[in-house]
């Protein structure tokens, strides 16, 4: 059961972090040579799919992480190198808390992208729009794209840092 939970947890992290690295490193590179209209179509399609993968991965990370947390055996933990303890007085406990905060930051970012930033990029055009209204709409979409870009970079950096924090748990914690 422990092995299965750890595998599911690791796979969910891998899908999430590997996915965000691929979106940034592979998709962004391919977009550079594509016509702007097709960039929009590909971004919409890939973005919609990716946000569901990211949300499901984060949910699985949270659920399997909570299950693993509940199954921590104090005696088994104390037997590890450095005798870590699950309390804020010990590096292991503080690192675990930091990892939880990281997960919360990622969940909030992905939720904001899925339910606010991504829908905000949709063009709202009506036949009766004045040229000022069209310009304002373009400006709004431009701002939404920039915010999405920042959110994606923040997500990538935090997720890569989280992998490092999690890796430090094997040796008793980081902070």
Partner 1 sequence: MPSDPDIWLHIIYGYLHDLAIATYLGGAVAMEFVLGPAQGSIPPAQAQVMGQKTSDRFLWLVWGSLGVIIVTAVLRLEHLGRLDWTWPFFNSGLSLDQSYGRTILAMFLLWCVLVVNGSLVTFVFRPRLAGKFTPGTSAAQVTASQTAKMQAATWIQRLTRVDLGVAVVIALMGASLKWGGLI
List contacts with partner 1 (CB under 8 A).
Answer: 2-3, 6-7, 10-11, 13-23, 25-27, 29-30, 33-35, 38, 41-42, 45-46, 49-50, 53, 91, 160, 163-164, 166-168, 170-172, 174-175
Q: Mind spelling out the 3-state secondary structure of 43-103? A: HHHHHHHHHHHHHHHHHHHHHHHHHHHHCCCHHHHHCCCCCCCCCCCCHHHHHHHHHHHHH
Nearer to partner 1, 61 or 117 (CB): 61
Tokens encoding 167: 């890796």
- How far is CA 153 from its chain centroid? 10
Q: Which is nearer to partner 1, 5 or 140 (CB)?
A: 5
CB of 139 to partner 1, least distance (A): 27
Cβ 133 to partner 1 shortest distance, Å: 29
108 versus 167: smaller Cβ distance to partner 1? 167
Distance CA 23, CA 46 (A): 9
């Amino acid at each position: 059961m422990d092995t299965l939970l750890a595998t599911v947890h690791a796979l969910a992290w891998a899908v999430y972090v590997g996915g965000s690295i691929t979106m940034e490193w592979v998709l962004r590179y391919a977009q550079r040579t594509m016509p702007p209209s097709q960039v929009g179509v590909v971004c919409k399609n890939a973005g919609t799919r990716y946000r569901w993968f990211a949300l499901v991965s984060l949910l699985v990370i949270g659920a399997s992480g909570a299950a693993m947390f509940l199954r921590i055996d104090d005696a088994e933990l104390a037997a590890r190198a450095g005798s870590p303890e699950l309390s804020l007085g010990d590096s292991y406990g503080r690192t675990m808390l930091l990892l939880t905060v990281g997960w919360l930051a990622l969940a909030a970012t992905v939720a904001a992208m899925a339910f606010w930033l991504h829908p905000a990029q949709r063009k709202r055009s009506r036949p009766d729009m004045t040229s000022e209204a069209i310009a304002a709409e373009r400006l709004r979409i431009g701002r939404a794209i920039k915010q999405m870009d920042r959110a994606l970079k923040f997500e990538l950096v935090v997720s890569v840092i989280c992998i490092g924090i999690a890796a430090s748990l094997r040796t008793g914690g980081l902070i």
